[in-house]
């Protein structure tokens, strides 16, 4: 049996780094949403297989919201998100919800959680795994960056004159590599 000693001060430092990355991502998303018109935010785009930028925002936001509410209950299930058409259809609602996520990121590190889900299309037969808050925040960071990369492709095709942060849609490791 292997025992791992966790230094609580290191956990808090790691959590601060993770929270800071999340805040940067939220700020990048808010910045872009403020630059887009409501029509541009909700318009179906061929390069996105007829989905909209708003749909990608909804997806990112709902994953964070499921994580936050699930942390309060001790179990996270990303399959339980709402797929809220009002959210994807409103730039203003997305901005409000992003700000809410930014404000509630005061969750304490070390929180043990369960992650449940299902990869069987024909049933709701769920699996359950052990996880923790830090791991789920990291997952949400990577998930958001992935969708931001897709959004960036749409911006380059549909809105080539619109400027976004040079970090928008790039993983932190990719940004480090690009600086070499």
Tell how strand 75-76 and strand 112-117 pair up: parallel
Which residues on adjacent β-strands are paired with residue 117?
127
Q: Which residues of 105-142 are buried (b: 16+ CB within 10 A; e: fewer)?
A: bebebeeebebbeeeeeeeeeeeeeebbbbebbbbbbe
- Please tell me the predicted confidence (pLDDT) of residue 4: 42
**What pLDDT shows up at residue 1?**
42
- Helices (DSSP H) in 36-90: which residue ranges? 38-42, 53-73, 85-88
- Enumerate domains of the chain plus CATH numbers: 36-179 (1.20.120)
Q: The whole model's pTM is what? A: 0.91
How confident is the chain (180 residues) per 10-residue block, as mean pLDDT?
Answer: 49 81 97 98 97 98 96 95 97 98 81 94 91 94 98 97 95 91
């Amino acid at each position: 049996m292997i025992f791992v000693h966790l230094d609580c001060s290191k956990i808090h430092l790691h959590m601060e780094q993770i929270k800071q990355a999340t805040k940067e991502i939220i700020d990048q998303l808010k910045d872009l949403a403020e630059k887009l018109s409501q029509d541009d935010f909700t318009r179906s785009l061929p390069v996105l297989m007829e989905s909209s930028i708003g749909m990608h925002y909804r997806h990112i936001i709902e994953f964070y919201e499921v994580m936050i509410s699930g942390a309060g209950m001790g179990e996270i299930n990303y399959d339980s998100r709402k797929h809220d058409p009002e959210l994807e259809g409103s730039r203003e609602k997305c901005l409000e919800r992003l700000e809410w996520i930014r404000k509630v990121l005061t969750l304490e590190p070390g929180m043990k959680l369960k992650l449940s889900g299902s990869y069987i299309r024909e049933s709701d037969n769920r699996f359950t795994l052990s996880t923790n808050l830090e791991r789920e925040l990291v997952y949400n960071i990577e998930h958001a960056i992935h969708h931001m990369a897709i959004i960036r492709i749409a911006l380059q095709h549909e809105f080539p004159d619109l400027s976004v942060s040079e970090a928008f849609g790039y993983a932190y490791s990719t940004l480090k590599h690009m600086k070499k």
